[in-house]
């Protein structure tokens, strides 16, 4: 073990974790784990322990305090122009009353011209507030994906790879708004799970993923060229949605996560802008983990080749 600088201590379990690909619970042993199964290491907080060329390229979580305050006090913010305009209007009338100027506006008076301009701005503020109160954004809610449920996994995978793919699906579907997951790697559709569009033959089966057509599409080529995650927060607004016919027709949002330079993960959500910045950052890390596992397998001779 390479010595590391002082950092955060953590406990590492050396024993392999059991995962049943049939989603059945495994009985737990009542005997305690041997002491040799644990070791104590120190994790360094410096960047020296990270290999060069593997810098994190995904989005970084951030918090916008102003936006959060506005969203919490939405009604107050929308009414604010009305209060500002009303106070300004009263201030102008009060100033004109005590200044001794004739009530009738005189175009030749500089004070009258300033008062007229101020009155115009005050009325504009009031009208703006009324418009803000009358127009409200459409509420965003989850939708039920229209399609069929499927679970298609590349049959030549060993149990370790299959269990990791299922782990990724379980994690995404529980933590985020993910309802569909398709993984293309080495020009093969190795995983299609969750909700999918129904086949055109109306046989109740999921629509197959045409990998050749997908790889030639603009969405895939753009993501692979940039090497960074692409987030389609409102899928209905993007013309490229026609390149994803295997997703349910009412899929609301999609994340295209590159897996190295050999594949891509397509994650469909049931809510417009449902994937938060933290979700995007976490999905980037999951993609890097899947790429590391799949690259080791595909570097070996494939069955039948």
Residue boundaries of the structural domains of the chain: 65-134, 148-298
Average pLDDT on 173-193 reads 94
Average pLDDT on 191-211 reads 89
Helices (H), 50-192: 65-72, 74-98, 110-134, 159-175
Q: Work out the angle between the directed axes of helices 74-98 and 110-134 (0-180°, nearest 10).
A: 160
**Pairing relationship of beta strands 148-153 and 178-185 according to DSSP bridges:** unpaired
Asked whether residue 304 carries a pLDDT value surpassing 90, the answer given is: no
> Could you tell me which of 109, 148, 142, 122 has the C-alpha nearest to residue 248?
148
Share of the chain above pLDDT 70, in %: 74
pLDDT digits (tens, 9 = 90+) for 2-41: 444 444 444 444 444 444 444 444 344 444 444 444 444 4
pTM: 0.60
pLDDT digits (tens, 9 = 90+) for 216-240: 999 999 999 999 999 999 998 998 8
Cα of first residue to Cα of last residue in the chain, in angstroms, is 38
The pLDDT value recorded for residue 23 is 40
Distance CA 272, CA 251 (A): 9
pLDDT digits (tens, 9 = 90+) for 279-302: 999 999 999 999 999 998 887 655
Distance CA 207, CA 55 (A): 37
- Name the β-bridge partners of 266: 182, 256
Question: Mapping DSSP to helix (H, G, I), strand (E, B) and coil, where does residue 107 land?
Answer: coil
The pLDDT value recorded for residue 114 is 81
pLDDT band at 108 (very low <50, low <70, confident <90, very high): low
The pLDDT value recorded for residue 196 is 94
Q: What is the CATH number of domain 148-298?
A: 3.30.450.40
Distance CA 196, CA 248 (A): 5
The pLDDT value recorded for residue 75 is 84
């Amino acid at each position: 073990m390479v010595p590391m600088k002082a950092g955060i201590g953590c406990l590492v379990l050396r024993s392999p974790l059991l995962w049943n690909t049939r989603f059945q619970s495994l009985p737990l042993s009542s005997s305690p784990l041997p002491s040799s199964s644990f070791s104590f290491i120190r994790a360094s907080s410096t960047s020296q322990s990270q290999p060069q060329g593997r810098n994190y390229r995904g989005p970084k979580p951030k918090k916008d305090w102003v936006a959060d305050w506005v969203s919490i006090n939405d009604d107050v913010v929308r009414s604010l122009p009305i209060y500002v305009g009303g106070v300004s209007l009263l201030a102008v009338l009060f100033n004109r009353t005590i200044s001794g100027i004739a009530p009738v506006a005189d175009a030749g008076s500089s004070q009258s011209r300033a008062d007229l301009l101020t009155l115009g701005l005050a009325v504009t503020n009031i009208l703006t507030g009324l418009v803000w109160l009358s127009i409200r954004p459409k509420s965003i809610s989850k939708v039920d994906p229209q399609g069929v449920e499927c679970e298609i996994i590349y049959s030549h995978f060993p149990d370790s790879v299959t269990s990791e793919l299922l782990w990724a699906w379980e994690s995404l579907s529980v933590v985020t708004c993910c309802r569909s997951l398709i993984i293309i790697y080495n020009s093969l559709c190795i995983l299609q799970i969750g909700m999918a569009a129904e086949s055109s033959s109306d046989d109740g089966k999921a629509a197959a993923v045409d990998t050749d057509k997908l790889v030639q599409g603009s969405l895939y080529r753009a993501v692979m060229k940039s090497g960074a995650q692409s987030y389609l927060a409102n899928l209905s607004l993007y013309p490229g949605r026609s390149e994803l016919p295997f997703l349910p027709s009412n899929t609301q949002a999609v994340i295209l996560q590159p897996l190295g330079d050999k594949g891509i993960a397509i994650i469909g959500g049931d809510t417009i802008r449902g994937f938060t910045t933290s979700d995007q950052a976490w999905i980037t890390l999951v993609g890097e983990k899947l790429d590391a596992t799949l690259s080791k397998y595909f570097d070996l001779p494939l069955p039948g080749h």
